[in-house]
Amino acid sequence: MDWQIAPESPIYAQLAQKLRRGIASGLYGPGEKLPPVRELALEAGVNPNTMQRALSELEREGLVFPQRTAGRFVTEDAQLISRARETLAREETRRYFSAMEDLGCSAGEISRLAAEIAKEGHDAGA
Amino acid sequence: MPVLECIELEKSYGRSEALRGVSLKAEGGRILGLLGPNGSGKTTLIKLACGLLQPSGGEIRICGLAPGVETKKIVSLLPDRLSLPGYMSPAALCAMYEDFFEDFDAGRAERLLDELGIDPAQRVRRMSRGTREKVQLILAMSRRARLYLLDEPISGVDPAARDYIISTIMTNYAPDAAVVLSTHLISEAERLLDDVVFLGAGRVVMSGGADELRERSGKSVDALFREVFKC
Amino acid sequence: MLSRLLKYEFRATSRIMLCVLGALLAIAAAASLGMRAIGYNRGLTIVGAMVLVLYFLAIMCVGAVTLILLVYRFYKSLLSDEGYLIFSLPVGVHSHICCKLICAAVWMLASFAAILLSIAIVASSIGITGVVLSDLQVMFERIAAAWSIGALDFASFALELLLLAELSAVGGCLTFYAAMSFGFSFSEHKALCSVLAYIAIGILTQLCIAALLGALGLLFSLQGPGFYISLGGILNVTRVKNLSHAVMLGGIVLQAAYCAVLYAITAYFLKRRLNLP
């Protein structure tokens, strides 16, 4: 995972966001065991306490649960994961729309562009 | 009990005051950044914690004890100068550390020296400055101390070495050990820090958790520093 | 802990010292050969004389190197950047000072012994040693017979003299240590302050000695003639022996006190006024 942490805002919040994306996208599959805190922190280049705080937040949201000595696991609740995915997707869309509006694009233009790019991607894939 | 505690600590050299009314705490399992411009008293504070200086006023305590022989057993210092005797080799220095410090992990030191490709039999005076600094860092971090005092560990070092030093500090994390790190290269180090103390002209100008400060100010610690210490 | 410090201190100093002392003995051996060569023919005489001169230079070198080394070790280890390492060791200030002092005392004794040995080596070539020794023996026997001074008395006197000499050497050492500890407690002009402190200690010592001798002289001058007559009367061998012991012991005590004062100064400045670069 490419962590890309910016120092301007609380790091734990950014880490939590990245972890949510990881779970929503399936990078960390349902029921999968997460790497230990120290390893994640080293990967992200951050303080283990900060990573710990991010994971605690995810625990509070129910996306992740601890199992006494075995470590932390991603939830198996598929509904919860898809809800998180939906929330993240909405955020991303809002951001996209806001950026397009800054460019002065209308709603019609946005739909047209979206269809074209999607087709491009589909053709490239095929 | 905090690992390091300063209570209204003061230090003056003759007429000039290096530290005035400094109060701070460093807790176990956390990394504290001592940030300030040159001459703000960071090195003075570290020397006081090591027992290399005596305070002019106030108190400084390590695990509740005043700095002395007992605290030296649990404090690991990385000074901002090259302090290794030139005629000794890393192997000889490891043996010496093992002789004097019960908490020295010789195996870890050997491993780190090997990782960096440093010849343990070569005398220190024949090594380049960068290598000497790395040896010093390895010796300091191979101790299982309660308090690590790192004085400007990443200044004057190339960027690749900086990354290595930062990751070494992080992997050395132990839940009962506190790390106090002084630096003026804040943008490189701020991801590492749990807590932050801004030291200006010998006084504590600002302090708090790193993320708390980011939330409050909406800025990185580096940007906040530049704002607070604008010339 | 002190024994561990000593181990490292000897390791740091033994290479140079053994080299220098070894060289001295080697040159002494060469000089003893050179002595035999003198008078043989013109060429060898010149060589022999040069080797002899070299030998005298070597003795001076040994003295200089010993002194410079122990001063340098104190500075390098405790007052320079290395001090950050040394003073972070979990060892008290007294252990550090004693370690340097013991090492210095040992090497000074060793240098002295080496010089004596080298003299014996050189002297052996002239064949005067046998004559000198037998003459000395005769002299001692006569003194012993005349004044009933036994071997024990000579031995104890020699020991007292040795102790006094070693204490004086230690005192000389401590003068440097105290001056440096004081001088380096300043932030600037450390070397200058040390030199000034060294001179000041010297002057103060001389003043104290002068004051002491002056007081003693005053004491004697105040005594009436009767004192001197009675003094002459009580002067027998036993009293002289006791007097000489008293004087030696007095000297030892004074020298020890002098060392103690300098030690205290050194300890104070290293413990409370350490000012590493």
Q: What is the pLDDT of residue C232?
A: 66
Query: pLDDT digit string (tens) for C248-268?
Result: 898 999 999 999 999 999 999
Residues 24-43 of A with CB under 8 A from B: 38, 41-42
Same-domain check for residues C274 and C162: yes
Question: Buried b / exposed e across A90-119, counting CB within 10 Å, b at 16+?
Answer: eeeeeeeeeebeeeeeeeeeeeeeeeeeee
B72: distance to nearest CA of chain A, Å?
26
CB-based contacts of C83, cutoff 8 Å, min separation 6: B52, B83, C77, C274, C276
User: Do residues B77 and B122 lie in contact, with contact meaning Cβ atoms separated by under 8 Å?
Assistant: no
Phi (first) and psi of residue B180, to 5 degrees: -115, 120
Same-domain check for residues C24 and C157: no
Of B14, B69, B83, the CB nearest to C82: B83
B136-150 mean pLDDT: 94
Is residue C83 very low, low, confident or very high in pLDDT (cuts 50, 70, 90)? very high
% of chain C surpassing 90 pLDDT: 53
Same-domain check for residues C119 and C182: no
Query: Could you list the residue range(s) of the whole structural domain that residue C231 is in?
Result: 128-277
Q: How many domains does chain C have?
A: 2
The answer to whether A53 faces chain B, any CB pair under 8 Å, is yes
Same-domain check for residues C147 and C118: no
Same-domain check for residues C76 and C135: no
B9: distance to nearest CA of chain A, Å?
28
A27-51 mean pLDDT: 90
Same-domain check for residues C86 and C208: no
Q: Could C274 and B100 be called an inter-chain contact, meaning their C-beta atoms sit closer than 8 Å?
A: no
Looking at 3.40.50.150, 3.30.10.20, 2.40.50.180, 3.40.50.300, the CATH number of the domain B4-74+146-228 comes to 3.40.50.300
Q: Could B210 and A42 be called an inter-chain contact, meaning their C-beta atoms sit closer than 8 Å?
A: no
Which residues from chain B sit within 8 angstroms of residue A46, using beta carbons?
191-192
Q: What is the pLDDT of residue B167?
A: 85
Q: What is the pLDDT of residue C128?
A: 66
Which residues from chain B sit within 8 angstroms of residue A5, using beta carbons?
191
A53-65 mean pLDDT: 92
Which residues from chain C sit within 8 angstroms of residue B50, using beta carbons?
87-88
Query: pLDDT digit string (tens) for C156-166?
Result: 888 889 899 98
* pLDDT surpasses 80 at A125: no
Same-domain check for residues C109 and C187: no
Q: Could B170 and A47 be called an inter-chain contact, meaning their C-beta atoms sit closer than 8 Å?
A: yes
Same-domain check for residues C68 and C96: yes
Same-domain check for residues C251 and C158: yes
Phi (first) and psi of residue A123, to 5 degrees: -60, -45
ipTM confidence: 0.93
The answer to whether A54 faces chain B, any CB pair under 8 Å, is no
B182: distance to nearest CA of chain A, Å?
16
* pLDDT surpasses 80 at C239: no
For an interface test with B, give the residue of C84, C96, C275 to mutate (most B CBs within 10 A).
C84
C129-142 mean pLDDT: 77
The answer to whether A50 faces chain B, any CB pair under 8 Å, is yes
Helix (H, G, I), strand (E, B) or coil at C256: helix
The answer to whether B65 faces chain C, any CB pair under 8 Å, is no
Chain-wide mean pLDDT for chain A? 89
Domain A11-77, CATH? 1.10.10.10
CB-based contacts of B121, cutoff 8 Å, min separation 6: B89, B90, B91
Which residues from chain B sit within 8 angstroms of residue C85, using beta carbons?
79, 83-85
Same-domain check for residues C244 and C182: yes
In whole angstroms, give the CA distance from residue C172 to residue C165.
11
* pLDDT surpasses 90 at C131: no
In DSSP terms, which residues pair with B71 in a beta bridge?
Answer: none
Last residue within a domain, chosen from C126, C149, C164: C126
Q: Could A42 and B218 be called an inter-chain contact, meaning their C-beta atoms sit closer than 8 Å?
A: no
The answer to whether B153 faces chain C, any CB pair under 8 Å, is no
In whole angstroms, give the CA distance from residue B209 to residue B216.
10
| Location of each CATH 3.40.50.300 domain in chain B | 4-74+146-228
* pLDDT surpasses 90 at B157: no
Which residues from chain A sit within 8 angstroms of residue B210, using beta carbons?
11, 50
Alpha helix positions (H), chain C: 2-37, 42-74, 83-86, 93-126, 128-147, 151-183, 190-222, 225-234, 237-272
Q: What is the pLDDT of residue C148?
A: 66
Query: pLDDT digit string (tens) for A41-51?
Result: 988 989 899 99
User: Do residues C51 and C33 lie in contact, with contact meaning Cβ atoms separated by under 8 Å?
Assistant: yes
Of C8, C187, C272, the CB nearest to B54: C272
User: Do residues B105 and B142 lie in contact, with contact meaning Cβ atoms separated by under 8 Å?
Assistant: yes
* pLDDT surpasses 80 at A9: yes
Q: What is the pLDDT of residue C129?
A: 65
Q: What angle do CA C104, C109, C111 make, to 5 degrees?
A: 95
In chain A, where the domains are located: 11-77, 79-125
In DSSP terms, which residues pair with B183 in a beta bridge?
Answer: B35
Last residue within a domain, chosen from C126, C155, C171: C126
Helix (H, G, I), strand (E, B) or coil at B75: strand
In whole angstroms, give the CA distance from residue C272 to residue B41.
19
* pLDDT surpasses 80 at B173: no
* pLDDT surpasses 80 at C193: yes
Is residue C277 very low, low, confident or very high in pLDDT (cuts 50, 70, 90)? confident
Q: What is the pLDDT of residue C149?
A: 66
* pLDDT surpasses 90 at C69: yes
Kindly tell me whether chain B and chain A come into contact, counting contact as 3+ Cβ pairs under 8 Å.
Answer: yes
Tokens representing A120 are 């491009």
Rg (CA), chain B: 17
Is residue A2 very low, low, confident or very high in pLDDT (cuts 50, 70, 90)? confident
A65-89 mean pLDDT: 89
Of B31, B192, B219, the CB nearest to A8: B219
Q: What is the pLDDT of residue C125?
A: 72
C99-120 mean pLDDT: 93
Top pLDDT among B188 and C224 is at B188
C44-71 mean pLDDT: 89
Query: pLDDT digit string (tens) for B14-49?
Result: 788 899 999 999 999 999 999 998 889 999 999 999
B223: distance to nearest CA of chain C, Å?
32
C: neighbours with 3+ CB pairs under 8 Å?
Answer: B
User: Do residues B88 and B120 lie in contact, with contact meaning Cβ atoms separated by under 8 Å?
Assistant: no
Q: What is the pLDDT of residue C139?
A: 82
Q: What is the pLDDT of residue C178?
A: 96
Last residue within a domain, chosen from C70, C92, C126: C126
* pLDDT surpasses 90 at B174: no
Q: What is the pLDDT of residue B171?
A: 83
B73-82 mean pLDDT: 94
B: neighbours with 3+ CB pairs under 8 Å?
Answer: A, C
User: Do residues A97 and A110 lie in contact, with contact meaning Cβ atoms separated by under 8 Å?
Assistant: yes
Query: pLDDT digit string (tens) for B128-137?
Result: 988 999 999 9
